[in-house]
Chains A and B, each alone.
Chain A
Amino acid sequence: MSEELIETIKKEFRSNVFDETVSNNEHYLTVKKEAAVRICDYLYHTLDFPLISIFATDERAKDGCFKIHYIFSCKDDMFIIIKIKVEETSPRFATLTHKIPAANWYEREIQDMFGLVPVGHPDPRRLIHFEDWPAGFYPLRKDFDIRTKPPRVKGEYIYRRVEGEGVYEIPVGPVHAGVIEPGHFRFSVAGEPILNLEIRHFYTHKGVEKLFESLSIDKAVFLAERISGDNSVAHSAAFCQAVEKVAGVDIPPHAKYIRTILLELERIYNHFGDIAGIATDVAYPFGAAHANRLKEQVMQLNEKVTGSRLLRGMNTTGGVRRDIGDKNELISKELATLQNNFRELMELLISSPSVADRIETTGRISNEIAKGLHVVGPAGRASGIDGDTRRDHPYAAYPELEFKVPVRKAGDVNARTLVRADEVYESIMLIQQALSRLPEGDIRTDVNQIPDGYALGYTEAPRGETLYWVHISNGRIERCKVRDPSFCNWLAIEYAVLDNIVPDFPIINKSLSLSYSGNDM
C-alpha cells in the first residue's frame, strides 16, 4: 500500500521529486521548492491526508541551506514528509495557508524563528516575537547564541479592528482574574454577543526548542516533561519514542505497559480537571467540588505509584525509571471506586437543567472548521473528527489493548464534555487491561551510541496528538521540533466563540482545554 502511494505521488509530479528516503514509517520526499504547494495541496485535498506540522531546520553547515518539512499523516500508520530547500540568499517560500488553513501559524513561526518569509501569507504579522523584538534576530538559526538578549525596540502590534455603531473592544489579559496561564484576548462585541475575537499568545515563550539543542539527551527528557506541565508523560514519552526510533531500540514490553498505564492515568486526571473547570464556569460548584475531589484522588494515586503527583521523572530513553508492578492492586482498587464516583457525578451533572442550559449549543465548532484547522484530541472528536493517535499510529502497548474512540458530531461544549467522560471510562478500562496483562521483565534497556538520524515520536496526550521530530547528530540533539496539540486547537477558539455571549467565553475556553505553555514553548 505505502509503496503504491509513493509511486502515485511520484508519477503525478515526476520531475519535481528529487529524492526519496524511507526510515521506519516515515517517507521523506525532497521536492522542488516551486512545486511544494501543489504537492501538499494534492496530498491534502485529493488524498485527504491531514497536515500535522510544518517546521524548518538550519542545515547551512552541512548542505548550505535551510530546509522546510511538511508532515502529513497517512493511513496504515505512515507519514509522508515533504522537504524543500530554501537558500539563505533568497529566504522565501510560497505560503500554503490559502490551500490549507492549518498552515497559518506554522509558517509565521518559521518566519519568526528562522527569518524565512512565507510569500503571500494572508497574515504576515509576527507570531512569537513581540513588537519590541528587533529585526534580524532569528533564535533557531545555528549562529544565534541561546543567551543573547536582543535589545528592546519600539514597535506596535496592530489588532484586527471591527468597526460599526455600538461596537466596542474588551481587552483581557495577559494576567487573568483566575488561576490560568497568560495570554491576551481582544474581543469586539456589540452588547453581549461576540463579533470577533483575536487571540495573542506567546507570553510564555521560553525558547524551549533552542534549549533542546544545548542539552544532553538524558536531560532533554526532563525538559520535555516541563513543556506542558499537566501533559508531562505524553510529552516525555513522545520525545523518548523519537530518540528510541533513531537509536533503533525496542523497549522491553514491561516498560511499554508501564508507559501506557501512566499515559492513561494522566488522561484521567486531566479530564477530571477539565470537567471540574466546566462545572465551575457554569456556576455549578457542587459538581466542581466533586470533580476536583476525584482529580485530587488520581493525583494522590499518581504520587503513591510514581512519587510525583504529575507523573514526572518516570520516562527515560529506553524505558521507564521505576517499576510499578507492585502497585497493581492499589491502582485497580482505586480505579474501581473512582469509576463509581465518576458515574454518579456525571449522572448529576447531565441531569441538571442549569448545566445543560449553559453547555448545549455553546461554542460550536463545525466539522468543516475543525478539519480545516486540524483540531485534534477531544475537541476534534467532539466535532466529528474520528482521529486518535493511539489507534491510527499505535505506540507503546496500545496495539495489544482494546479500546473504543468516542466520537460525537455536535461540536459544542456539551459534546466535548461527554467525549471526555466517555474517554475516562475507556482509560480506566485500558489501565485494567494493561494491569492484568503486565508482562514480566526489565523496565529499561540501555540507549547508548545513538547513530545520526532523525525520527518522529508521537503520543495522544489528554489534549490530543503530540508530535516530536528529533534530529540527532554526534550523540547530541541537532533539532527538536515540538508540536503540542494546543498549537492546532488555539486557532479554533476564534471560530468557536462567534455569536456566543462574552460570559460563555470561559466555558468555551475551558472545554477546549488549551495549554498556553505548550503552545508558546
Chain B
Amino acid sequence: MFEILIKTLKTGTVTTKYPQKPDIAPLGFRGKPELLPEKCNFCGECVKACPPGVIWLDEEKGEKRFTLSCCGCIFCGMCEEVCPCGAIRLTREYELGSKTKDDLLTIIRRRV
C-alpha cells in the first residue's frame, strides 16, 4: 500500500495538455503529403509507386489534373521518395479528421 502511494507521488501528472496545447509531431514524422504545384511535371512516378493507389492523374476539358487523396493514404512516403522533382513532401500535419472525403483531396490543375 505504502509503496503504491510512493510510486504514485513520484510519478506525478503525466497527462498531455492536448488539445488545449498543440502537440507538434516530432521531426521525421510522416504526415499529410504536401504538393508543390510549380515543381510537378506530371510524370506519374508517384502514381506507380503508391501502394494503396490514392494518387491519380486524369484530364478533363483540356485541363490536366493531379489528385492526391489522404483518405486511404498509408503515409509511407514512397511518393516523396520516387518524385524526381521534389514536388511531394510529407509534412508533420496529422490532424486530418474530416466530415467528407472531398475535404481530404489535394488537386493540382494545369492547362494543357
Contact = CB atoms under 8 A, between A and B. Distances in A.
Nearest to B14: A293
A313 interface: yes
Interface stretch (B24-32, B37-45, B55-63, B99-107): B24-32
Interface in B42-91: 49, 51, 74-78, 81
Contacts of B26: 303-304, 307
Interface string A313-356: 10000000110000000000000000000001101100100000
A-side binding surface: helix, strand, loop or mixed?
A: helix
A371 interface: no
B20 interface: no
Contacts of B25: 303
A232 to B, nearest CB: 12
B95 interface: no
Contact of A223 (B3, B7, B11, B51): B51
Contacts of B8: 286
Nearest to B25: A303
Contact of A348 (B3, B77, B78): B3
B49 A308 contact: no
A6 interface: no
Contacts of A312: 76
Contact of A222 (B28, B29, B30, B76): B76
Contacts of B78: 218-219, 222
A303 B51 contact: no
Interface in A189-205: none
B29 A303 contact: yes
Max chain B Cβ within 10 angstroms of own Cβ: one of A219, A321, A348: A219
Contact of A313 (B4, B7, B49, B77): B77
A307 B51 contact: no
Contact of B11 (A219, A290, A304, A313): A290
A162 interface: no
Of B11, B28, B30, B75, most A-chain CB atoms within 10 Å: B28
Given A215-B51, A218-B78, A313-B77, A348 B30 contact: no
A348 B7 contact: yes
Interface in A266-319: 286, 290, 293, 303-304, 306-308, 312-313
A387 B74 CA distance: 35
B74 A222 contact: yes
A219 B29 CA distance: 20
A306 B28 contact: yes
Contacts, number: 45
B28 to A, nearest CB: 4
Contacts of A219: 49, 51, 78
Contacts of B7: 290, 344-345, 348
Given A218-B78, A222-B74, A223-B51, A307 B28 contact: yes
A285 to B, nearest CB: 11
A307 B29 CA distance: 4
A477 to B, nearest CB: 14
A222 B75 CA distance: 10
Contacts of B74: 222, 226
A306 B3 CA distance: 36
A322 B30 contact: no
Nearest to A351: B3
Contacts of A290: 7, 11
B73 to A, nearest CB: 12
A307 to B, nearest CB: 4
A307 B3 contact: no
Given A218-B49, A222-B51, A286-B4, A308 B30 contact: yes
B64 to A, nearest CB: 25
Nearest to A327: B28
A293 B13 CA distance: 11
Given A215-B51, A222-B51, A290-B11, A322 B28 contact: yes
11 contacts: A222-B76, A223-B51, A286-B4, A286-B8, A290-B11, A307-B29, A308-B30, A322-B28, A345-B7, A347-B3, A348-B7
Given A290-B11, A293-B11, 20 more contacts: A215-B51, A218-B78, A219-B49, A219-B51, A222-B76, A222-B78, A226-B74, A286-B4, A286-B8, A303-B26, A303-B29, A304-B28, A307-B26, A308-B29, A312-B76, A313-B77, A321-B81, A344-B7, A348-B3, A351-B3
Interface of B: 3-4, 7-8, 11, 14, 25-26, 28-30, 49, 51, 74-78, 81
The 7 closest A-B pairs by CB, nearest first: A307-B28, A219-B51, A304-B26, A222-B51, A307-B29, A313-B76, A307-B30
